[in-house]
A and B are shown apart, each in its own frame.
Chain A
Amino acid sequence: MNLDLSETQQMLKAGARELLARECPYDLVRETEGDPAGFSRPLWRQMSALGWPGLAVPERYGGAGGSFMDLAVLLEETGRALAPAPLFSTAVLGALTLLDAASDPMKDDLLPRIAAGQALATLAVVEPGGGWEPQDVKLQARRDGERFVINGVKLFVPNAHASDFIITAVRTAQDAGPEEGVTLLLVPGAAEGLTPVPHRNLASDGQCEVTFDGVSAPLSAVVGRVDEGGPVLRRTLQRAAAAKAVEMVGSAEAVLDMTVDYLKQRVQFGRPVGAFQAVQHHCANMSIDLEGSRLAAYQAVWKLSQGQEAAREASTAKAWVSDACLRICSLAHQCHGAVGFTQEHNLQLHTRRARSQEQAYGDAGFHRRLLARGLAASQTP
């Protein structure tokens, strides 16, 4: 057993932290909240120059040939810095899904551009009233000769308005089994009839509502096979949940760090408030939550990185981290007193995102139900 990051991963992490501390101050996070693009292009150019979008893309497609685990190490740091950049959408939702299921010509075409940071990609799954499972995909794609015609709405698509490609989960066959009849289509961001509109949400984090009004996609746009996208989507969502959990761990760690720093210097009753046992217990509880979160998240990442079945680990990670990260933020507010309630304070940037991250790829309740279902199923002989 080895529960440490490798030496290269530690270097990668330290380098990323250093870069982001310099290039991604909280001011940048605030600025991009109000910016319709939803992310900082200069920051993305720097990440691209360092090869981050292609970190987990094989060398033959112009990537660095790293693993999902390596990518997760970066995501912990971008999560810590709340970096407003499409790394998660492009590298996790885009590149890894294509790598998993796309045809060779599609990979040859797209992955080098993605690895170079020239093309942005994302994934559209969840729909009004729907959940995060393949059977929840209802968006109609009607077969019309050599093409599909898509009509409907997808929600919470990260960075859709800036993406060159949106991998869109659509329903191509009715009355099939729960995993069947789903197809993944690669839709260009500029496709006619496609309208992405940023959600106005509490985190202002660039998630979009995307309307498909007669959007046409040729058969060559199918990622994988027609009607057989369900299992691909399931794996993709497991990766997304695990990666999101790691991102949240980074953010939660930043929250604990800023809280401890503050409690050491804030003086009331003639001593640092951190000297009060009640406050110390808050910090202890935060630290316990953080430790568990990191292990749960990385276990899922590691298993997925090994190419193993990881439904249980991914759900465990997202179920635990979603709640723990919110608990950590709540205690941080409690420890900061009124100043943490201000817009000017950086804590709330993490807190508001924790709430939107909680929902992404399923919240704690959703993943606990998946786990319960799995438990129930494996008990039957």
Chain B
Amino acid sequence: MDFRFSQDEEQFRQDLLAFLGAELPPGWEGLGDDWNLTLATRRKLAERGWLTMHWPKEYGGQEASPLLSLIFNEEMSYHRAPGRDPFGARMLGPTLMIYGSEEQKRRFLPPVARGEAQWCQGYSEPQAGSDLASLSVRAQDRGDHFLVNGSKIWTSLAHRADWMMLLARTDPEAPKHRGISFLLVDMRSPGVETRPIINMAGSHEFNEVFFDDVEVPKVNLVGERDRGWYVAVTLLDFERSGIDHAAASRRLLDDLSAFLRDDESAALIGGARRWMWDLLAERYVEAEVARLIAYRVAWMQTGGLAPNKEASISKVFGTETFQRVADTGLKILGPLGQLTGDDPRAPLHGRFQEAWRHSFANTIAAGTSEVQRNIIAGRGLGLPRG
């Protein structure tokens, strides 16, 4: 065994760190939502070929190994850097490369590689969450186009998106997994309406999207008609990784340790005490384990293996570690921990209460912890279905 990265991989990490040092605003804390900065950084990442580094060269990628992508995501997450593209680069791209027509690849991939197109994922519906295959947004065949009606919910970034990956029902008579199609929808089509949903952290990240007689040209069907479920499932596997959460956890722990080591800041909460370090140590161990699990997932992918169970383990452990880290931080910060960033007494700019509020989302989004545990037990351990 060898837990080290190769020289090239280490070199990439250094290049990325230098880039982040140069491009992020001085003292960047990753607080607030600055969409212009996100877009500007994304274009710069694209210029270096990093945005879609894991793609084939012909579509604007660098054929980077999963380990390089892992390093990319680890550092971006640790530095709370804006600009990554979870939908276009991490989901649409890999999917089109397997299922897309030549025309679709030529049309949709280059704008993503250039960091110019924003995609969103229109899967979940009010009545179809974990049970995604029960979705009911309808797409009726009208000759050269589909006519789409219904609504999606929890659609992250729909309010910023140019395009949506839409799962819609094309055959209501077929068994539920077999009547679904995967469509690419222009968000500016007549009949598409996006309404914001504010989350418990007080921010606008996800949305409801309504379709009222929206026409989607047939050339925007990905894969075969009624086989969209299988296109979608392939893509779901790209969604699951724990490295973001492991790195974000580590960053919070480092921030808090620095805060406690500095007598002046520590004095705000009555000084660092022994029990605080004990608790932090417990969490550091977990964050380290989460990192290693995520590394193993990437390592398996590098060897061409499908880390199905491992990806679920990584997602569950990473997100739950992040929750515990945020919780521990608030315990250590004591009464002041609850203060939000706009209160002058808020330690660390209110980051821990903010992280804690957000931490509830991660064990839900991209497959709940329970569903991940089902995967671990079922597909992973081979236990029978309940």
User: Complex formed: what's the CA distance from A131 to B275 in Å?
Assistant: 15
CB–CB B343/A155 < 8 A = no
- Contact bitstring B334-363, A, C-beta under 8 A = 1, else 0: 111111101101000000010011001101
B65 → chain A closest CB, angstroms: 33
CB–CB B370/A334 < 8 A = yes
- Identify which of residues 153-185 in chain B touch chain A, using a CB-to-CB cut-off of 8 Å: 153-154
| B102 adjacent to chain A (CB < 8 Å) | no
| B327 adjacent to chain A (CB < 8 Å) | yes
CB–CB A338/B124 < 8 A = yes
Q: Given A269-B131, A326-B327, A330-B323, verify A199-B271 contact (CB < 8 Å).
A: no
CB–CB A268/B129 < 8 A = yes
Q: Given A131-B270, A267-B127, A365-B275, verify A356-B345 contact (CB < 8 Å).
A: no
User: Complex formed: what's the CA distance from A229 to B271 in Å?
Assistant: 26
| B249 adjacent to chain A (CB < 8 Å) | no
Q: How many residues of A contact B (CB 8 A)?
A: 47
* Residue of A130, A273, A337 with most chain B CB atoms under a 10 A cut-off: A337
Q: Given A340-B360, A343-B199, verify A202-B338 contact (CB < 8 Å).
A: yes
Q: Given A337-B130, A365-B275, verify A128-B345 contact (CB < 8 Å).
A: yes
A337 → chain B closest CB, angstroms: 5
Residues from chain B with a CB closer than 8 A to the CB of A360 are 335
- Identify which of residues 329-360 in chain A touch chain B, using a CB-to-CB cut-off of 8 Å: 330, 333-334, 337-338, 340-345, 348, 351-352, 355-356, 358-360
Smallest CB gap from B327: residue in A: A326
Contact of A201 among B200, B339, B374, B386 (CB under 8 A): B339
CB–CB B131/A341 < 8 A = no
User: Complex formed: what's the CA distance from A79 to B127 in Å?
Assistant: 32
User: Complex formed: what's the CA distance from A278 to B383 in Å?
Assistant: 14
B317 → chain A closest CB, angstroms: 15
| B198 adjacent to chain A (CB < 8 Å) | yes
Residues from chain A with a CB closer than 8 A to the CB of B127 are 267
Residues from chain B with a CB closer than 8 A to the CB of A341 are 199-200, 360-361, 364
| B26 adjacent to chain A (CB < 8 Å) | no
CB–CB A363/B331 < 8 A = yes
B83 → chain A closest CB, angstroms: 24
User: Complex formed: what's the CA distance from A360 to B338 in Å?
Assistant: 11
B219 → chain A closest CB, angstroms: 32
Contact of B154 among A156, A330, A338 (CB under 8 A): A338
CB–CB A201/B338 < 8 A = yes
Q: Given A344-B197, A344-B198, verify A209-B345 contact (CB < 8 Å).
A: yes
Contact of B386 among A276, A352, A363, A365 (CB under 8 A): A276
Which B residues lie at the A interface, using CB under 8 A?
A: 124, 127-131, 134, 153-154, 197-200, 202, 206, 267-271, 275, 323, 327, 330-331, 334-340, 342-343, 345, 353, 356-357, 360-361, 363-365, 368-370, 373-374, 386
Closest 9 CB pairs of A and B: A268-B131, A348-B200, A129-B270, A200-B343, A343-B198, A278-B370, A201-B338, A359-B335, A269-B131
Q: Provide 15 A-B residue pairs closer than 8 Å at the C-beta atoms, listed in order of the A residue.
A: A129-B271, A155-B336, A156-B335, A200-B343, A202-B340, A267-B127, A269-B130, A277-B386, A326-B327, A330-B360, A340-B360, A341-B360, A343-B199, A344-B198, A355-B338
